[in-house]
Each structure stands twice: as C-alpha cells, then as structure tokens.
A and B are shown apart, each in its own frame.
Chain A
Amino acid sequence: MEAHELIMLIYVFVLAIFVGFELITKVPPTLHTPLMSGSNAISGITIVGALLSAGLEEFTVSTILGLIALIFATINVVGGYLVTDRMLKMFKKK
C-alpha cells in the first residue's frame, strides 16, 4: 500500500467517526444497552477479513488463523444481532 492510498483510507476513517458521533449522540439512554450490543455486532464486520483468509486455496497457517478468526467473528455477528433483537423486542410503550 502506497502512502497516498493510506491517506485516502484515513479520510474515510475520520469522516466515518464524525458520522458516528452525530448518529450516536441522538440515541436515548434507554437504548444504550441495545446500542452497545448492536454496534458490537457491526464490529464483527472483521468476518470479511476472516472469510478471505479461511478461503485461501492453499492450506497454510493463514487458513488456520482465518478459520479461528471466522469462528470468533461469526459468534460476534450472530450473537450480537440476535441478542440485540431479543432485547429490542421487549421495549414497549404503554
């Protein structure tokens, strides 16, 4: 990766942080726990990296690491979304 490519990625990173701040300051305290578990599930996006490694043609150390990473990330994604949904189902107005 060239330096200018890295800079472009940093641009995206910084702008996304601003979007995150704007969105999340609007979430009411009542939803803070589901916000945490729901955003947690999103951080399981690392699953994409795990898939790329676990699916390599040749079986190498990368494949093994990828497989473990894939299990971890899938737990994060599936567990995170399901538990968030379970919680949000309970929030009812009178």
Chain B
Amino acid sequence: MQTITYIVYLVASVLFIFGIKKLGSPKTARQGNMLSSIGMLLAVVITLFDQRVLTFEYIIIGIVVGSAIGATMALKVPMTGMPQMVGLLNGFGGGASMLVAFAEYYHILNTTGPEIEVATSTTIVLSVLIGAVTFTGSLIAFGKLQGLVTGKVVRYPGQHPLNALLLIAILVAGIMVILDPGKTDLLIGIGIVSLVLGVLLVLPIGGADMPVAISLLNSYSGLAASMTGFVLQNNMLIIAGALVGASGIILTIIMCKGMNRSLMNVVLGGWETAGQGGAAAAGGSEVKGDVKSVDAEELAMIFDAAQNVIIVPGYGMAVAQAQHAVRDLMNVLESKGINVRFAIHPVAGRMPGHMNVLLAEAQVPYDKLYAMEDINDDFPNTDVVFVVGANDVVNPAARNDPSSPIYGMPILNVDYAKTVVVNKRSLNVGYAGISNELFYYPNTLMYFGDAKEAITKLVNELKEL
C-alpha cells in the first residue's frame, strides 16, 4: 500500500508541474489549472488510505467546512477584490503549515517520546516560524487591501531593532528546542512570537508596495508547504511547495524591478515614508505651471480625429470599477476604425497582473494588452494616450529628475505621444507622494472626474459624433 501511495504522490507532483507549465499560455492555462487540481484530488484521496488515518469524523467535518468557506469566497469575490483574496488564501496555507507542524510535534511526543532527532525538530521549528509569519503577515496584507487596516506606511521608533530582536529570540529559542525537543512551552512561545513578527513585518508596508508584499507572502506560503514536507518526510509536499516558492520569488523580483527598488528597501518600508509629509517633502523638484483641462465633448472630438490610441490603466481604474466603461470606450473607438491598445505597467494595481484580470473580466481580449517593454517604443507614433487612474508609473520625473524618489524606475513613456489625456479625480499626488510633471506638459490634457462616470460620458459623446 505504501508503495502505491508513493507512486500516486509522484503522479500528483508531475501533474502540478504540468499544470504550472500549461499556465504559461492563456490558451492552455485553464486546462493546466484543472490538471493541477486533479493532482491535488489524487493526493488527498490516496492519503485517506494511509495506515495512520483511522477515524473519519474530523476529516469529513474539516473538508465540508473548508470547502464551503473556500467555494463561497471564490465565487463571491469581485474581480477588483482579487489581491485581498489571494492574500487571504496565502494566509490560510501558512496557518495550516504552522498547525500541522504543531500537530506532528505532539504526535511524535505522544508516540515515541521527547527523543526527537535533530533533523526532525529543526524542520518542525522552521515550519512553525515560516507558517506563522505567513499566516499573520497575510492577514495584515488582506486587512490593508480591504481597507480594514491602514494602507499607509506605518512607522514607529525602534521598529527595525524590535524586529531583529524578535527574530533573534526565535532563533535562540529554536536552537534550544532542537537540542531539547521536550520543551513544549518554548515551541509554543516560538509560534506566538512568530505570529507577532508576521504582523510587524507587513504593517509598515504601504499600499503601492502591496504587489511586492503579496508576491513575497506567496513565496513564503510555498516555503511553508515545503517545510511541512520536510517534517512529514514527504517529497510531494516538498516539490509542490518549492514550485510555489520559486513562483513567488520570481514575481517578487519582477515587481521590485518594476519599481527600481531592492527587496530590502520595500520590506523596510523606505520609499513611501517621504510621502507622508506631503508632496513638497517627498523630494524631487516641485512642479508648477498651467494645467489644461478638457470636457467630454471636446475630448470626444480629439479621440475621433485619432488613428492610434493607447489606454494606460492604473489602480484608480480598479477603485472606480471603471473596467467596463473602459471596454465600452474601446468598442466605440474601434467601431470608428481607430486602433486601440492597452499598455500595462508591471506594478500597476495591487498585485502582479491585477489590470489584466480586470480587463479580462470586462471582456477586453488579452491580445490587446501589451507589457511595458513591448509597447514603450510605440508612444511617439501614437495620437492619443488615455491614462486612467495611473500616476507614478507615467511620471517622467523617473526619467528626468535625479532628485525624485522614483528616479530610475522604468515608466511608460506616455509623454512622447502627440496628445496625453489624463483622467483623474484631482491633481493630488500619487501613492508615492510625488507630484507629477506630466500634468503640466504642453501636450497633456486633464480630464477630471470619477473614472467610471467620466468615461461613460465620453463614450456617449463619441456615439453622438
């Protein structure tokens, strides 16, 4: 039986790998997700035949309750709420790893006594640490994205020394547990301090840095699963966890590159602190000049005369739920024979690929969405660029102003287009707290208003032309 179990675990591991491979193209992605879920089902079913599993009451309760909650969440969540959904799911994965490590620890104590081998106790300690940090860190990330916890950068005196102190305490206690595995209270202490550490690590991270935080927590949740695999000496868990860990790390690196910042800088909450003092204190040259604003009727005529249009969506589009209005704009422009494309900055929104999902929901074909490096050279040949709720990712200061905090960050070169239209509610600074000189450029027109209302108005004007 044990041999069959191992073979099925191997099959499941292969299905996970194929599943992720097929996620590499939108055509096969759904099939890939299906393969991966079949792998999971096989793993669960064969585990039920394990000689250790003798009672089924709790298993049935757990699966029924968990499935009901999971399915309700998955089917109810709006597409704009996807970042917090992913954050929350990361947390549950991490929490499960921590609890399994504890359960396994008590099981070993009860069956073979406190003589636990060093390799086993080490993996238990690491599993508790990573699982607990992932759990509370993800809950805080969820709270920030949901608006339950402040999305601002939180700073307090002695923040970094405190975190360092907690980590050292965990490591010292960890070594003590590894050397003397009977110290149950100490392991519980490690769990509690790790939970606190998770809160403290994510709390300082500001809203605009959430794509990095979510990716990093995704990676942690994978590592936590791998650690559980070490505890249980199960290769399938190690492989599955390692795949997720690698995925999270790659996304984290992409997000950091998109902001031209080091991971350390994001984790320590460096950038946005400046923004709390207001635009002037944020560094960078202060921008002054005249702003030209435009109304819907005038804007409709400008669009009508264009041949090439690029739309640049940002987090503001998600907040205003304007993705359907943007789709209508695309349709009406295309009906007039105008070429419409979308330019997506890697860190637009609150998680990797956030804008792509919202536009997919609004039935914008994915082949109209272009990554920054694929479309950045086309702006000079573009008649009208329409910026919807994006700010820092189109700020030319990143290119021109060495004193700006975002200097060096790769941006979409929208200012090279013949006309730039920026839809925004007001002239307020972006999430980085930096004023945007683009708004004062001679080829820039400001179209003020809530994205959804303003774009709907524009679409109606265009239809009348």
- A interface residues, Cβ below 8 angstroms from B: 1-3, 5-6, 9, 12-14, 16-21, 23-58, 60-63, 65-94
- B interface residues, Cβ below 8 angstroms from A: 16-17, 19-21, 23-27, 29-30, 32-34, 36-37, 40, 43-44, 47-48, 50, 52-56, 58-59, 61-63, 65-67, 69-71, 73-75, 77, 79, 82, 85-86, 89-90, 92-93, 95-97, 99-100, 102-104, 106-107, 110, 117-120, 123, 214-215, 218, 221-222, 224-226, 228-248, 250-251, 254, 344, 346, 351-354, 356-357, 360-361, 363, 365-369, 371
Instruction: Pick the contact of B74: A32, A33, A86 (CB < 8 A).
Output: A86
Secondary structure dominating the interface of B: helix
Q: In whole Å, how far is A19's beta carbon from the nearest beta carbon of chain B?
A: 6
Closest residue of chain B to A29 (Cβ to Cβ) is B371
Q: In whole Å, how far is A63's beta carbon from the nearest beta carbon of chain B?
A: 6
With a cutoff of 8 Å between Cβ atoms, the chain A residues found around residue B222 in the complex are 39, 42-43
Q: In whole Å, how far is A77's beta carbon from the nearest beta carbon of chain B?
A: 6
Q: Is the CB of A42 within 8 A of B366?
A: no
Q: In whole Å, how far is B170's beta carbon from the nearest beta carbon of chain A?
A: 20
Q: In whole Å, how far is A26's beta carbon from the nearest beta carbon of chain B?
A: 5
Closest residue of chain B to A94 (Cβ to Cβ) is B365
The 3 A-B residue pairs with the shortest CB-CB distance, nearest first, are A74-B66, A20-B246, A32-B353
A–B complex contacts, Cβ < 8 Å, 30 sampled: A2-B119, A6-B119, A9-B230, A12-B239, A16-B246, A20-B20, A25-B250, A30-B344, A33-B351, A33-B352, A36-B86, A36-B251, A38-B36, A40-B93, A42-B222, A44-B225, A48-B237, A49-B100, A51-B47, A55-B54, A56-B107, A62-B107, A66-B99, A79-B85, A81-B37, A82-B70, A82-B75, A83-B82, A88-B29, A93-B365
Q: Is the CB of A93 within 8 A of B96?
A: no
Q: In whole Å, how far is B371's beta carbon from the nearest beta carbon of chain A?
A: 5
Q: Is the CB of B30 within 8 A of A39?
A: no
Instruction: Pick the contact of B221: A32, A35, A40, A52 (CB < 8 A).
Output: A40
Q: In whole Å, how far is B234's beta carbon from the nearest beta carbon of chain A?
A: 7
Q: Is the CB of A53 within 8 A of B73?
A: no
Given contacts A6-B119, A75-B92, whether A42 and B40 have CB atoms under 8 Å apart is yes
With a cutoff of 8 Å between Cβ atoms, the chain B residues found around residue A83 in the complex are 73-74, 77, 82, 85, 89
Q: Is the CB of A74 within 8 A of B67?
A: yes
Q: In whole Å, how far is A78's beta carbon from the nearest beta carbon of chain B?
A: 3
Q: Is the CB of A93 within 8 A of B36?
A: no
With a cutoff of 8 Å between Cβ atoms, the chain A residues found around residue B58 in the complex are 54-55, 63, 66-67, 70
Instruction: Pick the contact of B54: A33, A57, A86 (CB < 8 A).
Output: A57
Instruction: Pick the contact of A33: B100, B230, B356, B363 (CB < 8 A).
Output: B356
Given contacts A13-B226, A76-B96, A91-B360, whether A70 and B66 have CB atoms under 8 Å apart is yes
With a cutoff of 8 Å between Cβ atoms, the chain A residues found around residue B234 in the complex are 48-49
Given contacts A37-B85, A38-B33, A74-B70, whether A92 and B93 have CB atoms under 8 Å apart is no
A2 to B102, CA, bound (A): 20
Q: Is the CB of B33 within 8 A of A9?
A: no
With a cutoff of 8 Å between Cβ atoms, the chain B residues found around residue A42 in the complex are 16, 19-20, 36, 40, 222, 225, 240, 243-244
